[in-house]
Amino acid sequence: MAAMTPIRRSRPRPRVWRGAVLALAGAYFLLPLLASFVFTVHVPGQGVSFAAYTELLGAEGFTESLLLSLGLAAATIALSLLLAVPALVAVRLGAPRLAAVVEVMCMLPLVVPPIALVTGITTVLRWGPEHLSRTPLYQTFLAVQDEDFPVVLVLAYTVLALPFVHRSLDAGLRAVDVPTLVEAARSCGASWPHVVLRVLIPNLRASLAGAAFLTLALVLGEFTIASLLGFRPFAVWIVSISGAQARMSVAVSILSLLITWLLLLLLSRAGTTPTTVSPAPATSRKES
């Protein structure tokens, strides 16, 4: 395609607008980051101090909330992949009608804003004490809302993550001829677990990493559901300290951006090493 394209040079008109647009955009997007950094290190009347960053580790609730968020993220990633990978592989192997059902089921959560979902979840959770207090199901309702590890958040986050997981995996599976791979492996005597673990998963590495990254970013930043259900993962913690320690809350916000950036760079590295197409992570991100 590129070889066919003739010389692309248009009239040698100075493209002033392009420079202006990019410069203005750069200023708008960099300014809050720079200003936030200045805000965290410059204390009026006292000069420069990195206390907001150094005191972070010792801050009350920091480690607990971060660990809670990371744990929730790990569980959400595991659950969403365990649910989506077999279903999507099955769809590739089998009936196209099933593909439509799975796609609709995975994409529907996009239509429901998290704040609306949480109203439904609180209603369902209230059924526990109201209607089921005599049944063994009540214990399940309590266990799901355990303070130390709220499973209900994992379930809600998995629902929210499904559209992105589906999109990322679907893009990866498009690049692989699943039926042929499976057929070949099965003819060579491989068992089903072997086919999935040693043949399909390695081919999907980039899109699995993409799905995992998106889910991680989603869970680390999630505020609405956790705060309204009364739990205290990372994002809720940042808001809770903002009143007393404004500097530290901004410092944590900058750090979370840097971490996201780093993860994204790692991901785009990982996405280019296998022979599959690289656009998978870029397209999958567009809707978050």
Partner 1 sequence: MSAPTTAPRPTGTAGGATARRRRRGPRTWLAALPLLTFTGLCFGLPLGAIAFGAVTRTDPTTGATAVTGEHLARSLQGPYLGSLVGSVQLSALTAFLGGLLGVLIAQALVTSRSTALRGAALTASGVLANFGGVPLAFAFIATAGISGVLTQLADLTDLGWNLYSFTGLTVVYLYFLTPLMVLVIVPALDGLRPQWREAARNNGATGRQFWRHVGLPVLAPSLLGGFVLLFGTAFAAHATAAALVGGSVPLVTLKIADALSGNVLTGQENVALALGLDMILIAGLVMAVYLPLQRRSARWLR
Query: Which of positions 187-246 make contact with partner 1 (CB under 8 A)?
Result: 217, 221-224, 227-228, 235, 238-239, 242, 246
What is the spatial distance between Cα 150 and Cα 157, in angstroms, rounded to a whole number? 11
Please say which residue, 9 or 58, places its beta carbon nearer to partner 1: 9
- CA-based R_g, the chain, Å: 24
Of 45, 111, 148, 187, which lies in the binding site for partner 1, with binding defined by CB under 8 A? 111
The sign of the CA dihedral 273, 274, 275, 279 is negative
What is the spatial distance between Cα 288 and Cα 181, in angstroms, rounded to a whole number? 32
Please say which residue, 74 or 256, places its beta carbon nearer to partner 1: 256
Please say which residue, 142 or 282, places its beta carbon nearer to partner 1: 282
Is 15 a binding residue for partner 1 by CB under 8 A? The answer is yes
136-175 residues near partner 1, rule: CB under 8 A: 155-156, 158-159, 162, 171, 174-175
Of 27, 67, 100, 105, which lies in the binding site for partner 1, with binding defined by CB under 8 A? 105
Burial 225-238 (b: 16+ CB within 10 A, else e): bbbebebbbbbbbb
Per the listing, tokens 């990371």 go with: 70
Amino acid at 275: T
Q: Least separation, in Å, of the C-beta of 85 and partner 1?
A: 9
Of 14, 46, 48, 123, which lies in the binding site for partner 1, with binding defined by CB under 8 A? 123
Count the site residues for partner 1 by CB under 8 A: 106
69-88 residues near partner 1, rule: CB under 8 A: 82-84, 86-87
CB atoms within 10 A of CB 206: 25
Q: How long is the chain?
A: 288
